[in-house]
């Protein structure tokens, strides 16, 4: 069995935290409005998901199938990628290979330049967020217009997405109205914050873009190796417009998005909408194979750290992810810290295991991400492809660099606990700490506990002493 | 049945009343309880903090200590989960399949308290009397790693005089998470604040749970926030009699 994607691949783009997670989390923690927005949004979608998942009698089997089929794809990724390339090429489209984000951005920029277009419309795509394609295009004088409503809000607000499915989850409707008034050309200056009116304003703005665009850029939720078919799953119909109207279509897709056969889609098209939006079925599923007549179609296959992730037997299951974001919505840490705290295109529990693997755990502050979890396990329970995120977090914690003082403390604790005699002495010494209890707050680093939590008073007698004295 | 009590390092050193209550309860039900004085810690703190190599000697020590018993009872969902889901894997990772096999055998005979009572002893009414209004926090590892399901609730509902009230958003983590509570103290405290608000909303005089670690966190938060509610381990309620 080989786990081979693309040899010699590296990583670039927006998957690297530039602040430690505990520091970055303070922004959201200090913002009561943001925390209320996040709590309301995640609670609503969490409940919707639970309802529509509960009504599927064979959910357990679907989930197991979803995991097994992805594992098969990952175990034979080189074969399936070759098959996909042959099928896509045979049907009139062009396949490009990109080792990292920079290479993918160069390929896309050159393709757009060749058309002479100065503006492109975009379907919401995680892969192009990951590689910062919009910024690369802008540097080449090409403007990318996001056409997903939430993505458009983020783009117009000069902001970053904070959720995989709902990138503007951190914004409320008043903020959105203000952004539209400030940034959307030709918008009604009297625009209200009624969601219907906001959607209408975006629709008018985007309609002009769809009708004039010569080039569209998309991601793909799935690619079928057997037929060369690409699929985009969406709610708004903007994706369908982008995929069908412009003459040139460029799709950027991570190499792990493959499924083997057309039939396999049956499983994922049930798992994804129910886990993601809490819908039985999403409104728009677009599929295309190669290039339609008169269309110029390109597929850019992106590695950007995926081959390196594939090489780790305990970490590779993260590549099963179908980007549903169910793990974000149930995560108590995400709910309080918000998506920006993760410093990556991929926030939440899946981001905490994916970002450090894509970049290598030493990159930026990505080593702090696996620690951004209480290991409560809620993410694993809801994952539609059964990624054991808690175990993977623990595995990545072992690979993260440690502070010298912490290492000494942990080694000393282990050395003490290895010997019942040393352990007994340590426990008895705890009694000496009894007077400390009079102090409500202790100096750092213990203040990190005592700021919000009183310390327990060490007992006069340990349990082992009770047993030794009168308990036996 | 001779039952070995694995008290956990936290109960041994800081919350001996939980271990005493577990012992009295099991003795009242007619079983011999032994406390192997060799016991120390399951090693979960080391594993979950990113020090799996340091945990391997602790796994070996735990297996050496508890191998000779027919049943091991643990008043902690989290430590039971570590024994059941981490020990054998750690031994394998360290290249010691023999230890892994022994760890698996010990794990198969190790039970969290509510599992032991309901599944092994087949008892839900343990003859306890506790005339107080109580709410129950189902700790994450008991809930999601052990799937103890409604076992603690069945035990509590059978307690004479006890008024069990619902905890809103009960299945949300309290924010403890071991070293997470220190490393991400502010996120942890925000999670705790919501848990405390839900404990207050329950109207209970006492918040119970099956893990002393989560109770240390919730209880510490209740004291610091000036709330009147106090915490108690499930074992302490089940050990109470008239």
pLDDT on residue A432: 83
Contacts of B141 (CB under 8 A, 6+ apart): A377, B77, B78, B80, B81, B211
- Are A394 and B50 in contact (CB < 8 Å)? yes
How many angstroms separate the CA of residue B13 from the nearest CA in chain A?
A: 5
**Which DSSP string do the residues of A340-388 spell out, in sequence order?**
GGG-SSS-HHHHHHHHHHHH-TTSTTGGGGGGS-----HHHHH-TT---
pLDDT on residue A7: 53
Give the ipTM: 0.97
DSSP letter, residue A471? I
Burial class (CB in 10 A: 0-12, 13-18, 19+), A32: exposed
pLDDT on residue B1: 81
Whether residue A317 contacts residue A388, with contact meaning beta carbons closer than 8 Å, is answered with: yes
How far apart are the C-alpha atoms of A199 and A217, rounded to whole Å? Answer: 22
Contacts of A464 in chain B (CB under 8 A): 12, 35, 37
pLDDT on residue A1: 37
Contacts of A347 in chain B (CB under 8 A): none
pLDDT on residue A15: 94
Contacts of A381 in chain B (CB under 8 A): 144
Contacts of B203 (CB under 8 A, 6+ apart): B133, B135, B165
Nearest to B221 among A414, A452, A471 (CB): A452
Nearest to A418 among B45, B58, B171 (CB): B58
CA dist A69 to A85, A248, A267, Å? Answer: 20, 32, 9
Preferred mutation among A32, A417, A470 to probe B, highest tally of B CBs within 10 A: A417
How much is the average pLDDT of B71-99?
98
Within 321-350 of A, beta carbons closer than 8 Å to B belong to 332-333, 336-337
Contacts of A423 in chain B (CB under 8 A): 9, 40-41
Contacts of B23 in chain A (CB under 8 A): 471
Mean pLDDT by 10 residues, chain A (472 residues): 52 90 96 90 96 98 98 98 98 98 98 97 96 97 97 95 92 93 93 94 95 97 98 96 96 98 97 97 96 94 97 97 98 97 97 97 96 98 98 98 95 96 92 76 83 91 91 59
How many angstroms separate the CA of residue A467 from the nearest CA in chain B?
A: 7
Q: Which of A70, A115, A111 is nearest to A222 (CA)?
A: A70
Whether residue A360 contacts residue A11, with contact meaning beta carbons closer than 8 Å, is answered with: yes
pLDDT on residue A42: 94
Nearest chain A alpha carbon to B176? A374
Nearest to B183 among A22, A394, A399 (CB): A22
pLDDT on residue A436: 75
User: How much of chain B exceeds pLDDT 70, in percent?
Assistant: 100
Q: pLDDT per residue over B3-17, tens digit each?
A: 999 999 999 999 999
Q: Which of A5, A97, A78 is nearest to A308 (CA)?
A: A5
Contacts of B56 in chain A (CB under 8 A): none
- B227: Cα within 13 Å, side-chain hemisphere: 26
How many angstroms separate the CA of residue A426 from the nearest CA in chain B?
A: 9
How many angstroms separate the CA of residue B57 from the nearest CA in chain A?
A: 6
For the CA atoms of A443, A449, A451, A452, what is the dihedral angle to 10 degrees?
-170
Whether residue B222 contacts residue B196, with contact meaning beta carbons closer than 8 Å, is answered with: yes
Nearest to B190 among A336, A378, A459 (CB): A336
What is the pairing mode between strands A229-234 and A222-224? antiparallel
- Are B58 and A394 in contact (CB < 8 Å)? no
Contacts of A398 in chain B (CB under 8 A): 50-52
């Amino acid at each position: 069995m080989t786990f081979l994607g693309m040899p010699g691949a590296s990583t670039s783009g927006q998957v690297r935290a530039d602040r430690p997670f505990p520091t970055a989390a303070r922004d959201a923690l200090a913002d009561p409005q943001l925390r209320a927005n996040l709590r309301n949004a995640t609670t609503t979608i969490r409940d919707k998901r639970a309802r529509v998942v509960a009504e599927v009698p064979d959910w357990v089997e679907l989930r197991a199938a979803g995991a097994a089929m992805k594992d098969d794809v990952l175990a034979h990724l080189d074969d399936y990628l070759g098959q996909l390339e042959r099928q896509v090429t045979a049907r009139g489209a062009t396949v490009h290979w990109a080792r990292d984000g920079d290479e993918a951005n160069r390929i896309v920029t050159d393709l757009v330049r060749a058309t002479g277009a100065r503006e492109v419309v975009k379907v919401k795509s995680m892969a192009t967020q990951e590689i910062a394609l919009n910024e690369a295009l802008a540097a080449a004088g090409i403007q990318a217009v996001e056409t997903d409503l939430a993505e458009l809000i983020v783009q117009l607000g000069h902001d970053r997405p904070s959720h995989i499915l709902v990138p503007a989850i951190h914004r409320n409707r008043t903020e959105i109205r203000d952004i539209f008034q400030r940034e959307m050309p030709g918008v009604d200056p009297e625009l209200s914050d009624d969601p219907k009116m906001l959607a209408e304003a975006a629709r008018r703005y985007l309609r002009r873009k769809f009708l004039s665009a010569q080039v569209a850029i998309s991601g793909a939720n799935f690619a079928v190796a057997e037929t060369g078919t690409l699929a985009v799953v969406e709610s708004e119909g903007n994706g369908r417009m982008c995929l069908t109207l412009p003459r040139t279509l460029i799709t950027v897709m991570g190499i792990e998005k493959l499924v083997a056969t057309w039939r396999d889609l049956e499983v994922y098209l049930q798992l994804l909408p129910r886990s993601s939006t809490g819908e039985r079925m999403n409104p728009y599923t677009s599929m295309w194979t190669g290039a339609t007549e008169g269309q110029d179609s390109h597929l850019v296959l992106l590695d950007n750290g995926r081959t390196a992730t594939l090489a780790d037997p305990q970490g590779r299951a993260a590549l099963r992810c179908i980007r549903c974001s169910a793990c974000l919505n149930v995560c108590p840490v995400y709910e309080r810290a918000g998506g920006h705290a993760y410093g990556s295109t991929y926030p939440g529990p899946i981001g905490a295991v994916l970002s450090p693997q894509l970049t290598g755990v030493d990159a930026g502050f990505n080593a702090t991400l696996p620690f951004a979890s209480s290991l409560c396990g809620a993410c694993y329970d809801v994952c539609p492809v059964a990624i054991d995120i808690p175990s993977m977090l623990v595995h990545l914690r072992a690979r993260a660099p440690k502070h010298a003082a912490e290492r000494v403390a942990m080694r000393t604790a282990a050395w003490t606990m290895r010997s019942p005699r040393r352990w007994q002495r340590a426990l008895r010494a705890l009694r000496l700490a009894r007077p400390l209890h009079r102090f409500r707050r202790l100096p750092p680093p213990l203040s990190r506990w005592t700021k919000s939590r009183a310390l327990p008073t060490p007992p006069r007698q340990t349990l082992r002493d009770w047993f030794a004295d009168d308990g036996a | 049945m001779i039952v070995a009590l694995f008290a956990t390092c936290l109960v041994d050193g800081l919350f001996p009343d939980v271990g005493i209550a577990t012992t009295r309860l099991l003795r009242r039900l007619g079983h011999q309880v032994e406390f192997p004085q060799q016991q120390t810690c399951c090693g979960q703190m080391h594993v979950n903090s990113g020090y799996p190599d340091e945990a391997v000697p602790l796994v070996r020590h735990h297996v050496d200590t508890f191998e000779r018993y027919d049943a091991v009872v643990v008043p902690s969902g989290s430590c039971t989960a570590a024994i059941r889901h981490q020990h054998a894997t750690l031994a394998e990772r360290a290249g010691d399949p023999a230890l892994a096999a022994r760890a698996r055998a010990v794990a198969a005979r190790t039970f969290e308290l509510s599992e032991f009572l309901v599944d092994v002893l087949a008892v839900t009414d343990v003859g306890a009397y506790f005339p107080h209004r109580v709410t129950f926090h189902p700790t994450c590892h008991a809930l999601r790693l052990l799937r103890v399901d409604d076992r603690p609730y069945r035990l509590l509902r059978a307690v004479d005089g006890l008024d069990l009230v619902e905890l809103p958003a009960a299945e949300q983590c309290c924010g403890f998470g071991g070293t997470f509570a220190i490393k991400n103290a502010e996120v942890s405290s925000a999670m705790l604040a919501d848990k405390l608000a839900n404990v207050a909303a329950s109207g209970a005089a006492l918040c119970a749970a099956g893990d002393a670690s989560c109770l240390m966190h919730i209880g510490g938060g209740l004291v610091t926030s000036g709330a009147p509610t106090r915490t108690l381990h499930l074992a302490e309620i089940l050990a109470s009699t008239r």
